[in-house]
Amino acid sequence: MKKCKTLLGKLLKKSRRRPKLDDPASTPRSEKPVPHGPVEPQDKCLLIAKLPKELRLLIYEAVLVEQDRPMHIVPHDDSSGRVGHKRCTDRASEAPVWQHQCYGRWAEPGIGIVHLPFPPSDDQLLSLPLTCRLMYLDALGILYDRTEFSFKGARGIIALNSQIPIQNWHLMRRLHISTMFLTPTTYWSWRENMPPESPGKWLTACEALHNLHHLRSLSLDLILRDTFHREDPEAIDNASWIYVLGPLKDIEAVHYLIELNFIPPEPVLRTLTPYSFCLTQRLRPYKRSAFCV
């Protein structure tokens, strides 16, 4: 624990020296001019001309969707606001999803932790939708409707929301979010990137989730720990519980589950009532090699 406290001190000092990354939320979506004139229907493709739409949709689903492998959304660490994607390759892990190796690893100078600074996105996922206009219109709906998008904290939500057209954002139906908070949350308000979670970014991300009105599945695995008494649930102040869960309580989804390492105390639950999610407790093994907090 002494080693972790020393590391925590280093992180506090380094984060205050680190230049602030561009916040994708503050960058407006690029609005390219809409071309005028006749639109080419692009209906000469044999795939479109010979196959009924039902069969084409089955082909798109087979190519674009992997039901048992979520799509991790990973912001690039080059201050560009861009995001990468990677199919989960660590499903067998019992650790919190944000600690999956397919997300990459945290890097701080002098600590020596391996990191993937640019998440690989070389699977040519969009090759099929970009073949022609009709395929794009058909296939993109399949991609967003059937894929489970997996986010590591608020930053990934904000980044993707700022990078894709708003109509595509509204097509998403299945989301998973994994993150951790250290309390009191006010103590960590200076954080830009998790872990631990940035309280300010958390509110912005939850606002983006409120705009999704047709979610079928929303699941979260959240860790809350007191900064100095990690294993004591009573050390977590009620205000931090409400700060984390309050913005989530009115989001609507057909299946809505929040997994926590500790169940909030009764006064917190009474304050949150009514809420739309179900709560469950699960103590996942924590990989200190991923980040020593």
Predicted confidence band of residue 271 (pLDDT cuts 50, 70, 90): very high
Residue 248 domain flag? yes
Q: How many CB atoms lie within 10 A of CB 9?
A: 10
Give the C-alpha separation, 221 to 261, whole Å: 8
Give the C-alpha separation, 134 to 39, whole Å: 12
pLDDT(29) > 70: no
For 234, the 3-state DSSP assignment is helix
Q: For position 122, what pLDDT does the model report? A: 58
Residue 38 domain flag? no
Give the C-alpha separation, 251 to 130, whole Å: 33
Residue count (the chain): 293
**DSSP percent split of the chain into helix, strand, coil, nearest 5:** 35, 15, 45
Predicted confidence band of residue 43 (pLDDT cuts 50, 70, 90): low
Residue 160 domain flag? yes
Tell me which residue range forms the domain holding 272. 2-12+48-281
Alpha helices in the chain (DSSP H): 2-17, 46-50, 53-64, 133-146, 153-163, 166-169, 199-210, 238-245, 266-272
Give the C-alpha separation, 218 to 176, whole Å: 6
pLDDT(32) > 60: no
Residue reference for tokens 């699941």:
219
Output the six-digit token pair for 197.
């979670």
Structurally, the chain folds into a number of domains equal to: 1
For 54, the 3-state DSSP assignment is helix
Average pLDDT score over residue span 19-48: 54
Residue 122 domain flag? yes
pLDDT tens for 59-90 read 888 888 888 889 999 887 767 777 888 888 88
pLDDT(2) > 50: no
Output the six-digit token pair for 163.
């990078």
Higher pLDDT, 138 or 238: 238
Residue 158 domain flag? yes
Q: For position 121, what pLDDT does the model report? A: 59
Residue 41 domain flag? no
Supply angle C-alpha 252, 243, 21, rounded to 5: 95
Structural element, H or E, at residue 149: strand 148-152
pLDDT(250) > 90: yes
Percent of the chain with pLDDT over 90: 43
pLDDT tens for 174-199 read 999 999 999 998 888 777 666 788 88
Higher pLDDT, 147 or 187: 147
Residue 250 domain flag? yes
Q: For position 20, what pLDDT does the model report? A: 42
CB 194 within 8 A of CB 154: yes
Residue 205 domain flag? yes
Give the C-alpha separation, 123 to 120, whole Å: 8
Q: pLDDT averaged over the chain?
A: 80
Is the whole-model pTM more than 0.85?
A: no
Q: For position 35, what pLDDT does the model report? A: 52
Q: Which of 141, 167, 151 is nearest to 83 (CA)?
A: 151
Q: For position 292, what pLDDT does the model report? A: 60
* Per-residue DSSP letter, 26: G
Predicted confidence band of residue 112 (pLDDT cuts 50, 70, 90): very low
